[in-house]
A and B are shown apart, each in its own frame.
Chain A
Amino acid sequence: MPPELLLAAAATLPFLGSVVAICLPSHARGAAAGVTGFATLASLACLAWLSPLAAGPEPVTFAVDWLPSLGVRFVLRLDGLAWIFSLLILGIGALVVLYAQYYMAAADPVPRLFCYFLAFVGAMLGIVLSGNVLQLVVFWELTSIVSFLLIGYWSDNASARDGARMALTITAAGGLCLLVGMVILGRIAGSYDLDAVLASGTAIRESPLYLPALVLILAGALTKSAQFPFHIWLPRAMAAPTPISAYLHSATMVKAGIFLMIRLWPVLSGTESWYWIVGTAGMATMLVGAWSAIFQHDLKGLLAYSTISHLGLITLLLGLDSPLAVVAAIFHTVNHATFKASLFMAAGIIDHETGTRDMRRLSGLWRAMPYTGTLAMVAAAAMAGVPLLNGFLSKEMFLAEAVDNRGDHALNLALPVLATLASAFTVLYSLRFIRQTFFGPPARDLPHAPHEPARWMRIPIEALVLVCVAIGLVPNLTIGPLLAGAARAVLGDRTPDYDLALWHGFNAPLAMSVLALAGGVALYMAFGKRIDTNPRGGPWLMDRLDGGWLFERGMTNLVRGARWLEARLGTERLQPQLRILFLAALLAATAAGLGRGLDLFAPGRTTAFDPAFALLWLVGAACAVGAAERAKYHRLSAVILLGGAGLVSCLSFLWLSAPDLAVTQILVEIVTTVMLLLGLRWLPKRDAAIPAPASERGRARRRRLIDLAIAACAGSGLAGLAYAVMTRPPVEGISRWFVEEAYPQAGGRNVVNVLLVDFRAFDTLGEICVLGVVGLTVFALLRRFRPAPDSRARPAQQIRQDAYDRGREGREPGHTAADALMVPRTVITWLFPFVVLLALHLFLRGHDLPGGGFAAGITLTIGFMLQYMANGAEWVEARLRIQPILWIGIGLLVSVFAGATSWLFAHPFLTAAFAYWDAPILGKVPLASALIFDLGIMVLVVGASVLMLVALAHQSLRRTRGVEAERERA
């Protein structure tokens, strides 16, 4: 398999596995874990296969065009740095899967957890493998979103929801800053390709946009890596299941920020601003984190603050302008991931087996779980920087860098002191963790009796602790080559000489180490008791400064402010909203017209005036004004007048050479009118004789005047605009091409129809989808329709007629109505085949003459509608089985099928073909594949419009049925 495909496979496998995992039933624990473990290990195997290549001078890359018009490519790129991070992500990921399989309770929907987990693995891999800075931001935001889902996995737990929300708010906001920063960076470098960005370090540092770009990118990196003061989200994210905490806060999520700073270190570092921002943030985070960790009573809380402190240490290293510090940072990243993941898992085991994580309740667990205790102790020793373990090596490098001052900044002078202090704090809280949990008298009244966990649950910790020891003892054989590859990938020619040996002789770092170890132990002896009895649990000196509380208060105030603004400036009422909308449109149009000097009455082309046309529009205008005036109290006449206005516009289409429009308009007009008439039945009685309250009268009058003014202004504006455009000479557009090519390319003479079913068929497909959706929505809305109480009574006329029918011998209720419709009914019943014929005619001639699928469909609908009107719903449905929903589905399928067949001939979707066929009687029949598409349109239109009409018409029927059922019950 070629390397680039292997790389692509490695990046895709986690996402594929995620999709598979979510498809599993929620009790399929084993299968879900199997899929997850397989996807992780397979991805790891792919990358491991490539790692010898990645260690070479050129990274392994896989590139495809992403946004070719912007020159943006999707690039996967594996170099030494990406490999060492991938190893952490996938290696620890696989161990976490094994651990989670035993950790999660039987009731938890585990496949969902594994789905999120794999998506997270994929997103993290995406970040470290990105060879394009924009692509990196996309994966970056994906990790924010997926971590939200992971932290909030136990969504019935309020603290999980809050923690997830805070993590998302902070990290996603940072991600947005990062996006802007990356765009600036790409602009300066001239390309978004990582290689190009890395190659233009000097240009970037000298650009005037360097500082904004730096601040924005660091806002992303520092929020993600939980640096002070953004660290508040991390302790609250501990509400996640422990395997997830172990993963997110040791190897992955928080390391994304570190990775980004390392990746861009060659480009962004080496300036005063980098030094101050990154160095200060790292220093503050390291101290605040270590200080707060001391005072935690929750095991996971202690580990969370310890993580913050270690991230601060790494950030501080990156802030120092020294290649050796970068090597130390990468080294410590790996070490921290291993010992912190094992400590989180150990804390999880303690929680799992005893039922509590509170160090004040835990004690003397050594007796019950000596094996877990040993593992935790080794890992904690690595965290504290005890010799022979990996933490010692990287801490030595850190202390060496702290001593090795460059320049004479105040920060540099304080550095050795503060570094030693933070190390002493680390020793203190590591010691406290072990001492409180495993030693002392046996704990009483724990929720469960403690015992060793399942064999398989310990394996991940054993593996990680083994790594800690192996790196600590023989660094050059284990981490050496990996670290060298990563350092070379970042630093290139600036890679320093360094020695990973255990013993560097008696020097300042060693002295500081010893001092820190001794100081930590001494501090614990002195203050251990008082820390344990510290009632509030918050750190001394800092208990007034609760970042989480400030954050929550800020969010609450933000929401409150938004509510206040909404209450002041917003309205839920429709009329003011619409008024503002129309006024804004009016103002915008006026401003544009005045600003560009629009001359409404410039002399131009006109068509000869025809008095008949003027007369027609006199009627049309009268109908429109009448409809507007009558719509409140006389709805029936308003509907009739509306129909009149529609008829006039239809005639205008006919007059002005648009027969297709005229045909469609008149057909639609008929169906719309019938629908409005069906709806009238359910509207309230409105009587002009009922006066409005006196207080309302003046306001209503003023409102009407304003509306009238808006309407008049908008109307005259639209009229003026229409006149101005129509009198100007036409612009040479794309129309000529359509007219010329309609016959040669599509075999149709009716250009409008050809446009709809061939040239712009995709639009039409969308349009019929809308129609189908509306049909189904209407149906769904009316299924649960309950008429208002005052519309429930039967119409007075019907009651009178029925009373008359009941009173006469030999008459049944309904006879009067039937008699009245006798003649029309007979005519309409016999008309049905002719309407169907007309529909077929319109359909077949559509390609060459006015007509087409839509007109045919509406005609057929009218045919059905007439039957309903003349004979009643029950009569029709006893004789005709109409299944409109089926018609909608078939129509859509036929249309899509007609479009898709062009794929068979290697043409794009909806490419039409045509031919002529000599039929026996009909003569030459044009056969275009567009005809099949048109057939789909027709079928769907019939389905959708019949569905709407029948759903409306059935409301009266259903009500009578309900009333009858009630009567029978009585």
Chain B
Amino acid sequence: MELVLSLGIGVLSAAGIWLILRPRTFQVVLGLSLLSYAVNLFIFGMGRLTVGAPPVLGAGPDIVSVDDPVPQALVLTAVVISFALTALFLVVLLAARGVTGSDHVDGREPHQEEPRP
């Protein structure tokens, strides 16, 4: 299981980083989403993997063997924040595209002249 999950984290993060390095804003937004999946899983994995023992008391196994709740709480926060981040980036990219007419991350096509500061 550990091997599978870590390979999955690797593929997700590689795809995310590749997309973040692309020139189009939409690619960067998707890349950030993929990378945040990978990082969330990575943080979650820091609590080690447990099957069938959620940290809900009184229902299943005893107190000792439940999964580590701290990384879960951290990741829950991270999920919310990455949701907010994706929404913000999406809107920023739409606004930038409206203002500059380009969806390149620098706000202009690469072969265009640099604007004088």
Which residues on A sit within 8 Å (CB–CB) of B103? 683-684
Whether the pair A607, B10 counts as a contact (CB closer than 8 A) is no
Taking a contact as CB atoms under 8 Å apart, the answer to whether B8 and A711 are in contact is no
* Residues on A with beta carbons closer than 8 Å to the beta carbon of B102: 684
| Cβ contacts A919-954/B at 8 Å (1 or 0 each) | 000000000000000000000000011001001100
Interface check A809, CB cutoff 8 A: no
Interface residues of A in 623-682 (CB under 8 A from B): 624-625, 627-628, 631-632, 635, 638-639, 642, 645-646, 648-649, 652-653, 655-661, 664-665, 668, 671-672, 675-676, 679, 682
Q: A631-B27, A671-B83 are contacts. A614–B18 as well, Cβ < 8 Å? A: no
B residues near A582, Cβ cutoff 8 Å: 17, 20-21
Alpha-carbon gap, A708 to B18, bound state (A): 6
- Chain A residue total in the interface (Cβ 8 A): 114
One of A610, A658, A770 near B84 (C-beta < 8 A) = A770
With A770-B81, A778-B87 already in contact, the answer to whether A788 and B56 are too (CB < 8 A) is no
Contact B51 A657 (CB under 8 A): yes
Which residues from B are CB-within-8-Å of A739?
Answer: 55, 57, 63, 66, 69
Partner of B66, one of A624, A751, A760, A948: A751
Which chain B residues border A660 with CB–CB below 8 Å? 54, 72, 76
Report the interface size for chain B: residues with CB under 8 A from the other chain: 88
Contact check, B98 vs A735: say whether CB atoms are below 8 A apart.
Answer: no
Given known A-B contacts A682-B97, A735-B70, A751-B69, A617 and B76 have beta carbons under 8 A apart: no
A69 within 8 A of B: no
B56 touches A659 (CB 8 A): yes
Whether the pair B81, A627 counts as a contact (CB closer than 8 A) is no
Whether, in the assembled complex, A687 has its beta carbon less than 8 Å from a beta carbon of chain B, the answer is no
Minimum CB–CB distance for B37 against chain A, Å: 5
Known A607-B2, A661-B76; contact A738-B70, beta-carbon cutoff 8 A:
yes
Contact, CB under 8 Å: B56 / A849: yes
Q: Is the CB of B22 within 8 A of A719?
A: no
**A-contact 0/1 string along B83-117, CB 8 Å cutoff:** 11111101111110111011101100011000000
Q: Please tell me if the beta carbons of B33 and A672 are within 8 angstroms of each other in the complex.
A: yes
Question: Is A693 an interface residue when CB atoms closer than 8 A count as contact?
Answer: yes
**A67: Cβ under 8 A from any B Cβ:** no
- In the complex, A786 Cα to B99 Cα: how many Å? 7
Q: CA of A850 to CA of B56 in the docked complex: distance in angstroms? A: 8
CA distance A454 to B38 in the complex (A): 76
Asked if A788 contacts B21 (CB within 8 A), the reply is no
CB of B91 within 8 A of CB of A781, answer yes
A645 touches B34 (CB 8 A): yes
Residues of A within 8 A of B91 (CB): 679, 777-778, 781-782, 948, 951-952
B7 to A613, Cβ gap below 8 A?
Answer: no
- Does residue A756 face the partner (Cβ distance < 8 Å to B)? yes
Quick one: given A631-B26, A778-B88, are A719 and B7 in contact (CB under 8 Å)?
yes
Whether the Cβ atoms of B80 and A854 lie closer than 8 Å is yes
Q: Is the CB of A749 within 8 A of B59?
A: yes
Task: Report if A799 contacts B (CB, 8 A).
Answer: no
Q: Which of A29-37, A107-115, A538-546, A724-732 touches B? A: A724-732
What is the chain A residue whose CB lies nearest that of B117?
Answer: A572
Given contacts A642-B33, A735-B68, A770-B84, contact A715 B55 (CB under 8 A): no
Contact of A632 with B24 in the complex, beta carbons under 8 Å: yes
Cβ-neighbour of B70 out of A693, A711, A755 (below 8 A): A755
Q: What is the bound-complex CA distance between A621 and B81, given in angstroms? A: 24
Query: Which of A610, A764, A945 is close to B1, meaning CB atoms less than 8 Å apart?
Result: A610
State whether B70 touches A621 (Cβ < 8 A): no
Q: How far is the CA of A582 from the CA of B9 in the complex (A)?
A: 17
The 8 Å CB contact of B2, one of A575, A726, A742, A791, is A726
Q: In the complex, what residues of B have CB within 8 A of residue A655's CB?
A: 51
Residue of A573, A659, A848 most packed against chain B (CB within 10 A)? A573
**Distance in Å: Cβ of B27 to nearest Cβ of chain A:** 4
Question: Distance in Å from the Cβ of B102 to the closest Cβ of chain A?
Answer: 8
Q: How near does chain A come to B85, taking the closest CB pair, in angstroms? A: 8
A733 to B74, CA, bound (A): 15
Q: Is A718 an interface residue (CB 8 A)?
A: yes
User: A655 CA to B106 CA in the complex, in Å?
Assistant: 41
Q: Is the CB of B19 within 8 A of A621?
A: no
Chain B residues with Cβ below 8 Å from A638 are 30
In the bound complex, CA of A648 to CA of B81 (Å): 20
B 8-51 binary contact with A (CB < 8 Å = 1; else 0): 11111111111111111011011101100110111011111111
Q: Give chain A nearest CB distance to B76 CB in angstroms.
A: 6
Assembly CA distance A720 to B14 (angstroms): 13
Whether the Cβ atoms of B17 and A730 lie closer than 8 Å is no
**CB-based contact A609/B44 at 8 Å:** no
A787–B93 alpha-carbon span in the complex (Å): 11
Q: A625 CA to B92 CA in the complex, in Å?
A: 25
Question: CB within 8 Å of B: which of A765-797?
Answer: 767, 770-771, 774, 777-778, 781-782, 785-791
Closest to A790 in B: B101
A672 near B83: Cβ-Cβ < 8 Å: yes
Q: Is the CB of B49 within 8 A of A607?
A: yes
Given the known inter-chain contacts A649-B41, A751-B57, please indicate yes or no for A606 contacting B8, CB distance below 8 A: no
Instruction: Please provide the chain A residues from 696 to 727 with a CB less than 8 Å away from any CB of chain B in the complex.
Output: 696, 707-708, 710-712, 714-716, 718-723, 725-727
Among A730, A750, A778, point to the contact of B68 (Cβ < 8 A). A730
Q: Are A711 and B21 in contact (CB under 8 A)?
A: yes
B57 and A756 contacting across the interface, CB-CB below 8 Å: no
Known: A610-B1, A676-B29, A682-B94. A605 touches B69 (CB 8 A): no
Verify if A740 is at the interface (C-beta below 8 Å from B).
yes
A617–B57 CB distance below 8 A: no
- B11 contacts which of A672, A684, A715, A756 (Cβ < 8 Å)? A715
Chain B residues contacting A627 (CB-CB under 8 Å) are: 15, 19, 30, 34
Which residues of the other chain, A, contact B94 by a CB distance below 8 angstroms?
679, 682-683, 782, 785
Task: Determine if A785 and B98 form an interchain contact, defined as CB atoms under 8 angstroms apart.
Answer: yes
A624:B42 contact, CB within 8 angstroms: no
Instruction: Given A679-B94, A684-B103, decide whether A657 and B67 contact each other with a Cβ distance below 8 A.
Output: yes
Known: A682-B98, A752-B55, A782-B95. A668 touches B79 (CB 8 A): yes
Q: Closest A residue to B105 by CB, please name it.
A: A574
- Sampled A-B contacts (14; CB under 8 Å): A656-B44, A657-B50, A665-B79, A682-B94, A683-B103, A718-B13, A723-B2, A726-B6, A730-B47, A733-B70, A735-B47, A781-B91, A787-B98, A850-B56
* Contacts beyond the supplied A621-B11, A648-B8, A668-B79: 16 A-B pairs with Cβ under 8 Å: A572-B106, A573-B105, A573-B106, A582-B21, A607-B49, A657-B66, A668-B83, A679-B91, A707-B22, A710-B21, A711-B18, A722-B6, A740-B63, A752-B73, A755-B73, A770-B84
What are the nearest 4 A-B pairs in CB distance? A715-B14, A719-B10, A711-B18, A723-B6
Q: CB within 8 Å of A: which residues of B? A: 1-24, 26-27, 29-31, 33-34, 37-38, 40-42, 44-59, 63, 66-70, 72-73, 75-77, 79-81, 83-88, 90-95, 97-99, 101-103, 105-106, 110-111
**Residues of A that sit less than 8 Å from B by CB:** 572-575, 578-579, 582, 605-610, 613-614, 617, 620-621, 624-625, 627-628, 631-632, 635, 638-639, 642, 645-646, 648-649, 652-653, 655-661, 664-665, 668, 671-672, 675-676, 679, 682-684, 686, 693, 696, 707-708, 710-712, 714-716, 718-723, 725-727, 730, 733-735, 738-740, 742-743, 749-752, 755-756, 760, 763-764, 767, 770-771, 774, 777-778, 781-782, 785-791, 848-850, 854, 944-945, 948, 951-952
